[in-house]
Amino acid sequence: MQIDLLFQGFPGRSSRGFLGWSSCVLIRPVGKAPILFDTVGFNERILLLTKLKELGVNKEDVGTVLLSHFHFDHAVNYPLFPNATFYLHEEEVKHIENNGEEDLAIPVEMYPSLRDSGRLSILTGKSGIVEGLNWMHTPGHTPGLYSLFLNYRGSKIVLASDTVKNISELRTGEVSMTWDEVRGKESINAIRRWADIVVPGHDRLLQIKRNGSHVEVYPINESAIDIIVPWKDDKFSIKI
């Protein structure tokens, strides 16, 4: 199995609202179609397809898209993948249907197309295996959020999405922007107990080191974004 971090999350917001720059991971099991964990946002869809092509993966090749939850910055690019099966947790489906108008991060107008596509599969219960990968229901930020718990090259890696949005949440166990604070803390603690490396939804790669009951969290790399103003690219194209 090969795991590639296509997008590292970025913990930024602006006076115009949330930037929504989230993480996205490509998983390539041996002998199976590629798997995407989350799809980033509309503003990154061209770069998403570019990064995939650079790794030899066309959008038609992707066989599975694991949607950790149905927020705009993680899920809206699912239609780019015409041959994929999409996975949501049953509690996220209930959340969309019951609270979609209240949770304004949900692109509720897009859900009927996914629901009626014939390619939506539902994860049920607290944990399980999907496409050979271990998943765990890690609610809090949304009721149906789930994470992947992977053993990879000698390390225990959690693709946490917004279960752990940033280094502060993993260090302190305190959560922000959450639908259920109590369950959010429980989910973070489960990750802190198990993981060596965490891929958060909106921050750098994080490493956990333990000394008895004492836990330290360190960034593995830097978090930086190039902002180019004014923007000009005469070769720009939206053809995919």
Structural contact between residues 91 and 103, judged by C-beta atoms closer than 8 angstroms: no
Q: Where are the domains of the chain?
A: 2-219
- pTM value > 0.75: yes
Residues linked to residue 18 through DSSP beta bridges, in sequence order: 13
pLDDT (tens digit per residue) in 181-194: 999 999 999 999 99
pLDDT (tens digit per residue) in 154-179: 999 999 999 999 999 999 999 988 99
pLDDT at 240: 40
Structural contact between residues 184 and 140, judged by C-beta atoms closer than 8 angstroms: yes
Question: CA-to-CA distance for 49 and 82, rounded, in angstroms?
Answer: 13
The sheet carrying 85-89 orders its strands as 2-7, 24-28, 35-37, 64-66, 85-89, 120-123
pLDDT at 75: 97
What CATH number belongs to 2-219?
Answer: 3.60.15.10
List the structure tokens of 90: 């049953």
Nearest Cα to Cα of residue 2 among 34, 28, 31, 37: 28
